[in-house]
């Protein structure tokens, strides 16, 4: 072989090696950079569904998932919250490692980004005011203006509908969150918007006069995005999501933020919002005073009182309990209360009794302890301990509220309650009771009532 040919093959070989090394590094330098810097930079959105501060504490499903992933890698978490249209360019310029911002996985986006496995199934819905009966299907969108944020999956889908011949108009906004569009629909400032199902159902609690009119897209999924070719980092992300879905961590986080979103009673929520304005102020000072004595969040107590009596001091149940906090005569006497119909005495006695129960659940972690306490206030301490006994029988974690959701309803059935000390109970009621209180509590929190 001639010297020229040898040099030619050597050159080709070198180029091939350089290509392979470059290709390998392209796929793996993202994770290597993270481990070297001991820090992962995550782009997210500053809103109620991704990341926000509550009393200077970071909150949000995407935030908690990102924090968990940073712990999974053993590195620090740095959050970046640019405007919506800046997210992908920042990732492409290597100014961050991941986008974790409620990003829907679409074919168009997969041309420029690599996505993790799906985190959460969602579906796009047309959102209207519930007085609007004219929008029932896609054809009804003809001639209408729909308000959305640009460069979203909603934008992508509506452009498809236009291409399919539906003569709708788009009013695009640069960086407005879905929650704001939903609020504007609720006050008739705009007629139509689009929102993902989990966002719409959650916000229906705060704006009960909105309606999920109909879906405009098949079911999709939310995922995390990385720069094209960042294979090793993507593999780690998928490994993390698989792990937290298998061990229950993801369900726990989802229920924390969206678990009660399906609980929706239009009339009740309208009354709740009305009575927050008209009735709650009469009792707010006393609720705050009594809650502070025991270190309770006064808004949780307010939510509980609404569930018990709708802030009606003369409320009376068919079981004979009376007043704002629906105390039995025996409990009122035990707590030193002379008149259950006196609002201040009822609040004082009810919160004192709640604390008494709370202290008895010192074996429950702080996160679930109050839910056990509320359930006991509703159905009785003994029935909750019975449910824990049934949980142990089934090798379930008796100290987790998610277990109680599963086990408490069993107290309705003889084959289960015959094994217990306190017997039959309407076990579905305390589950519903706790879920409603937590829903009301979340509304008070998210509305910024302090």
> Which pLDDT belongs to residue 95?
95
Same domain as 95, residue 165? no
pTM of the model: 0.64
Q: Which of 396, 398, 402 is nearest to 435 (CA)?
A: 402
> Which pLDDT belongs to residue 8?
52
> Which pLDDT belongs to residue 25?
44
Above 70 in pLDDT, residue 383? yes
Task: State the virtual CA torsion across 191, 195, 199, 204 in degrees, nearest 10.
Answer: 20
> Which pLDDT belongs to residue 18?
45
Same domain as 130, residue 114? no
Q: Categorize the per-residue pLDDT at 19 as very low, low, confident or very high, splitting at 50, 70 and 90.
A: very low
Same domain as 390, residue 318? yes
- Residue 266 three-state SS: helix
Same domain as 310, residue 293? yes
Mean pLDDT in residue range 163-171: 96
> Which pLDDT belongs to residue 7?
53
> What are the C-alpha distances in Å from 331 to residues 138, 175, 282?
57, 53, 24
> Which pLDDT belongs to residue 309?
92
> Which pLDDT belongs to residue 448?
63
Same domain as 301, residue 251? no
Q: How many Cβ atoms from other residues are within 10 Å of residue 193's Cβ?
A: 25
> Which pLDDT belongs to residue 415?
86
- CATH number for 401: 1.10.530.10
- CATH number for 202: 3.40.190.10
Same domain as 383, residue 314? yes
What is the SS3 assignment for 402-436?
HHHHHHHHHHHCHHHHCCCCCCCCCCHHHHHHHHH
* Strands (DSSP E) found in 130-219: 145-149, 169-173, 193-196, 210-215
Q: How far apart are CA 273 and CA 447, in angstroms?
A: 10
Task: Give tens-digit pLDDT for 386-401.
Answer: 999 999 999 999 999 9
Q: Categorize the per-residue pLDDT at 65 as very low, low, confident or very high, splitting at 50, 70 and 90.
A: very high
Mean pLDDT, rounded, of the chain: 88
CA atoms within 13 A on the CB side of 61: 24
Mean pLDDT in residue range 141-157: 95
Mean pLDDT in residue range 296-318: 91
Q: Which domain holds residue 205?
A: 124-217
Same domain as 236, residue 305? no
Same domain as 228, residue 181? no
Listed range (107-121, 143-157, 272-286) with the worst mean pLDDT? 272-286
H/E segment holding residue 269: helix 266-278
Above 50 in pLDDT, residue 42? yes
Mean pLDDT in residue range 21-25: 43
Same domain as 233, residue 108? yes
Same domain as 252, residue 213? no
Task: State the virtual CA torsion across 100, 103, 105, 111 in degrees, nearest 10.
Answer: -80
Catalytic status, residue 308: yes
Q: Which of 256, 324, 242 is nearest to 286 (CA)?
A: 324
Same domain as 428, residue 303? yes
- Residue 17 three-state SS: helix
Listed range (111-115, 266-270, 312-316, 427-431) with the worst mean pLDDT? 266-270
> Which pLDDT belongs to residue 28?
54
Above 60 in pLDDT, residue 175? yes
Same domain as 320, residue 364? yes
> Which pLDDT belongs to residue 96?
96
Residue 75 has phi, psi (to 5 degrees) of -130, 170
Above 80 in pLDDT, residue 130? yes
Q: How many domains does the chain have?
A: 3
Of 308, 334, 392, 393, which one is the catalytic site residue? 308
> Which pLDDT belongs to residue 373?
97
> Which pLDDT belongs to residue 6?
52
Above 70 in pLDDT, residue 266? no
Q: Enumerate long-range contacts of 371-375, CB under 8 Å, 24 or more apart.
A: 371/401, 371/404, 371/434, 371/438, 372/401, 372/404, 374/304, 374/430, 374/433, 374/434, 374/437, 375/404, 375/408, 375/430, 375/431, 375/433, 375/434
């Amino acid at each position: 072989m001639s010297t020229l040919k040898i040099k030619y093959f050597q050159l080709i070989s070198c180029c091939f090696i350089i290509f392979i090394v470059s290709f390998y590094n392209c796929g793996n330098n993202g994770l290597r950079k993270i481990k070297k810097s001991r820090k992962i930079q995550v782009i997210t959105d500053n809103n109620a569904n991704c990341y926000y501060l509550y009393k200077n504490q970071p909150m949000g499903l995407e935030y908690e998932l990102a924090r968990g992933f940073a712990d999974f890698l053993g590195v620090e978490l740095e959050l970046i919250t640019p405007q919506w249209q800046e997210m992908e360019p920042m990732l492409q310029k290597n100014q961050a490692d991941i986008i974790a911002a409620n990003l829907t996985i679409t074919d168009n986006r997969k041309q420029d980004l690599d996505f993790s496995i799906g985190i959460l199934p969602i579906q796009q819905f047309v959102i209207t005011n519930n007085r609007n009966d004219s929008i029932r299907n896609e054809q009804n969108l003809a001639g209408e203006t729909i308000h959305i944020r640009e460069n979203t999956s909603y934008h992508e889908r509506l452009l498809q509908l236009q291409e399919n011949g539906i003569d709708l108009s788009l009013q695009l906004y640069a960086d407005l969150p879905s929650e704001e569009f939903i609020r504007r629909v609720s006050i008739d400032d705009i007629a139509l918007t689009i929102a993902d199902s989990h966002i719409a159902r959650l916000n229906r609690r705060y704006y009960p006069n909105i309606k999920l009119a109909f879906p405009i897209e098949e079911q999709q999924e939310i995922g995390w995005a990385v720069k094209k070719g960042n294979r090793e980092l993507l593999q780690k992300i998928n490994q993390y999501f698989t792990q937290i879905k298998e061990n229950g961590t993801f369900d726990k986080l989802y229920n924390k933020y969206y678990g009660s979103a399906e609980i929706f009673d239009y009339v009740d929520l309208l009354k709740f919002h009305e009575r927050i304005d008209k009735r709650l102020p009469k009792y707010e000072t006393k609720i705050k005073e009594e809650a502070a004595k025991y270190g309770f969040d006064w808004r949780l107590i307010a939510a509980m009182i609404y569930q018990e009596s709708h802030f009606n001091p003369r409320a009376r149940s068919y079981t004979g309990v009376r007043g704002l906090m629906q105390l039995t005569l025996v409990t009122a006497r035990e707590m030193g209360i002379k008149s259950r119909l006196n609002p201040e005495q009822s609040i004082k006695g009810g919160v004192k009794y709640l604390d008494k129960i709370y202290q008895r659940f010192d074996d429950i972690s702080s996160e679930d302890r109050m839910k056990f306490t509320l359930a006991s206030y509703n159905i009785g301490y003994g029935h909750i301990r019975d449910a824990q006994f049934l949980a142990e029988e089934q090798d379930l974690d008796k100290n987790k509220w998610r277990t109680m959701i599963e086990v408490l309803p069993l107290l309705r059935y003889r084959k289960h309650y015959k094994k217990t000390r306190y017997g039959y109970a309407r076990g579905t009621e305390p589950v519903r009771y706790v879920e409603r209180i937590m829903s009301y509590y979340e509304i008070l929190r998210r509305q910024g009532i302090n």
